[in-house]
Amino acid sequence: MRVAVDAMGGDKAPHEIVKGSVQAAQQFPDKEIVLVGDEKALQHELNAYGTTPKNITIYHASQVVGMDDPATYSIRQKTNSSITHSVKLVANGEASAIVSAGHTGATVAAATLHLKTLKGVRRPGIAITLPTQHGICLIIDVGANIACKPIHLFQYGVMAAVFGKYIYGIKNPRIGLLNIGEESAKGNDLVKETFTLLSNSHLNFVGNVEGREIFDNKADAVVCEGFVGNVMLKFAEGLAINLLSTIKAEAMKSFWSKLGLGLCKPAMEKLRAKMDFSEYGGAPLLGVNGVCIIGHGRSDSKAIQNAIKLALQLSKNEVNEHIISEVEKTNALTADIA
Amino acid sequence: MRVAVDAMGGDKAPHEIVKGSVQAAQQFPDKEIVLVGDEKALQHELNAYGTTPKNITIYHASQVVGMDDPATYSIRQKTNSSITHSVKLVANGEASAIVSAGHTGATVAAATLHLKTLKGVRRPGIAITLPTQHGICLIIDVGANIACKPIHLFQYGVMAAVFGKYIYGIKNPRIGLLNIGEESAKGNDLVKETFTLLSNSHLNFVGNVEGREIFDNKADAVVCEGFVGNVMLKFAEGLAINLLSTIKAEAMKSFWSKLGLGLCKPAMEKLRAKMDFSEYGGAPLLGVNGVCIIGHGRSDSKAIQNAIKLALQLSKNEVNEHIISEVEKTNALTADIA
């Protein structure tokens, strides 16, 4: 099987993207990797590795979607972008999966447009893996769909259960609904209607989950609308950065606490490794007809290598096929829903 | 002026609530404090202080709203609760302000029902003060209103500007709109329509603010719908707890890092003080006809004392009067909006 890697996407592209792809090519010698992007630039990067692994090829794409380009503009105007060409390789059957650390909105738009959704799936959603003290918790959606209906949220639960089962080996994933309280009557119309759908389904639904409970091992996956998931994650990222830099700034003010901070460094490093998104490679856009992994804009070679690994796992474990059959099981429940 | 304190509300009620009220009564000898709740229990608490300050009285309320009671149930069934009686004291003109660290939903419901909204204000919103490295950032709404329209979000901006100006002394507060990207075309219909309203108003609108930018001193206040604000804050709280306890757990594993953690303690304490919500006392429910301060459920005496202080400031600085006149300025802009 072949993975199309958007080699121009991300803050550290193309250098770290090519490096991670070369590492993945060496790790998975029986799989093929297609680097999509500016041929000259990519060849130049590859030359640094001496002999290019045989399972790496370049596919030329002359344009790059900038991080400030509006998603819809990039799809309509930049038809030769590395994102669009990567997606088209999958749409044409020349590759099975895309990995991109570039413009998330453009990747979602291109994947939705060219790959379409899986049979029965209404809207794709991005599922991120959140490391916690107890293991992991999946959050879906974190920004693919900001005009969310109950049926979309419900299907996110179905897809997250498949992802949790076939990628993380969780037998019967506990699905939670992000809400502002635990009682079933809580929340806005969107979550109340979703609550009913989830309750009546075959899923292992554990009810409403409050923001802080995501870390409490109450659910293996939590569903929420893309707008909410997106601002929530970014706020938490901002808080974590603010918190750690404030600790550092305070500690630097005295000799003893500065020394203390130095002694704590190994513990902090272990924490960093635990919380490190690059370990998880990227977040799948679940629900499109093809495997699509969205990497963090800051992805380095390790994150790209892990994203490629995740793409291979999704293909090998037939996550999309399982999603189709699990969604089909809910047809009777959702038949009348617009 | 008199402040009605819901002495039965909060995890540490009535002990810490009474203690904080006594401290406030001593700090503000020319103001009156009414402790609302079970007379016997409150008298027992007061006896511990020897002579009760002359400016503290008790107002008997036989019921308490439990943290698990649904808000609407508590309003309809527990008409003798400490929350309802506190609010009614303000509604009847016997007090100017309420402070409650009890059930937030019940307090919001009681205040909205009995006090009504200020002239021109469509929906009240809870404004919390977030401490950042650069100072503070207000977030409104964090859970009062989960069926939010553009006009509500817009008026949150107007009210936050008044609060920022008359309580924090910020000359012309920068108002941001919480969104998933910076460009004006980003987001769902709610935020897009709010963007237009804010842009056309007299406010110092600085545009869209992403979740992580809340910490970057881009705006003095950020508006969002209550559902989003609530889950975002609680998620961040969970993350912060998870992060700090993971650091601690990792550091405890070795002698040197354990020592290091001990040396860092003063710096961590300073951080805790900086991030300490009790410094800010509580969050006003802006937009109701009366001063209503909502305390954190974990409020201790210091938090209650500061919440009473904040209530007095809001009254003294005529925040509600300024809200009415600022909202009036936007009448032409919002006249046709449902």
- Tell whether A310 is covered by a domain: yes
Exposure letters B33-49 (e unless 16+ CB within 10 A, then b): bbbbbbeebbeebbeee
- Of the pLDDT bands very low, low, confident and very high (cuts 50, 70, 90), residue B96 is very high
Same domain for B336 and B302: yes
Q: Is the pLDDT of residue B311 over 90?
A: yes
Q: Is the pLDDT of residue B271 over 80?
A: no
Q: What is the pLDDT of residue A271?
A: 67
Compare CB distances from B274 to A215, A246, A264 and report the shortest one's residue.
A246
Compare CB distances from B260 to A68, A132, A262 and report the shortest one's residue.
A262
Same domain for B89 and B26: yes
- Of the pLDDT bands very low, low, confident and very high (cuts 50, 70, 90), residue A279 is low
- Tell whether A152 is covered by a domain: no
Question: Range with the lowest mean pLDDT among B87-91, B131-135, B213-217, B294-298?
Answer: B131-135
Q: Is the pLDDT of residue A266 over 80?
A: no
CATH number at residue A311: 3.40.718.10
Chain A residues inside the 8 Å CB shell of B241: 212, 215
pLDDT in tens, B189-213: 999 999 999 999 999 999 999 998 9
Whether A178 sits inside 8 A of B231 (CB atoms) is yes
Give the total number of structural domains in chain B: 2
Q: What is the pLDDT of residue A255?
A: 82
Last residue of one domain, picked from the residues B280, B295, B313: B280
Q: What is the pLDDT of residue B272?
A: 66
Same domain for B135 and B6: no
Side-chain-side CA neighbours of A102 within 13 Å: the count stands at 34
Give me Rg for the CA atoms of chain A.
21
Give the whole-angstrom CA distance, residue B284 versus residue A230.
27
Q: Is the pLDDT of residue B290 over 70?
A: yes
**To the nearest whole number, what is the mean pLDDT of chain A?**
91
Q: How far off is chain A from B225, nearest CA to CA, in Å?
A: 10
pLDDT in tens, A42-57: 999 999 998 889 999 9
- Tell whether A66 is covered by a domain: yes
pLDDT in tens, A1-44: 999 999 999 999 999 999 999 999 999 999 999 999 999 999 99
Tell me: ipTM over 0.90. no
Q: Using DSSP, state whether A30 is helix, strand or coil.
A: coil
Whether B215 sits inside 8 A of A242 (CB atoms) is yes
Question: Range with the lowest mean pLDDT among A117-121, A218-222, A298-302?
Answer: A298-302
Mean of the pLDDT values across residues A274-286? Answer: 75
Mean of the pLDDT values across residues A78-107? Answer: 95
- Of the pLDDT bands very low, low, confident and very high (cuts 50, 70, 90), residue B67 is confident
Domain interval for residue B217: 127-280
Place of tokens 């960093």: A272
Side-chain-side CA neighbours of A297 within 13 Å: the count stands at 10
- Tell whether A304 is covered by a domain: yes
- Of the pLDDT bands very low, low, confident and very high (cuts 50, 70, 90), residue A240 is confident
Q: How far off is chain B from A283, nearest CA to CA, in Å?
A: 17
Whether residue A156 contacts residue A141, with contact meaning beta carbons closer than 8 Å, is answered with yes
Structure tokens at B279: 């410094």
Same domain for B195 and B252: yes
Beta strands in chain A (DSSP E): 2-6, 32-37, 56-60, 97-100, 125-132, 135-140, 174-178, 204-209, 221-223, 283-286, 291-294
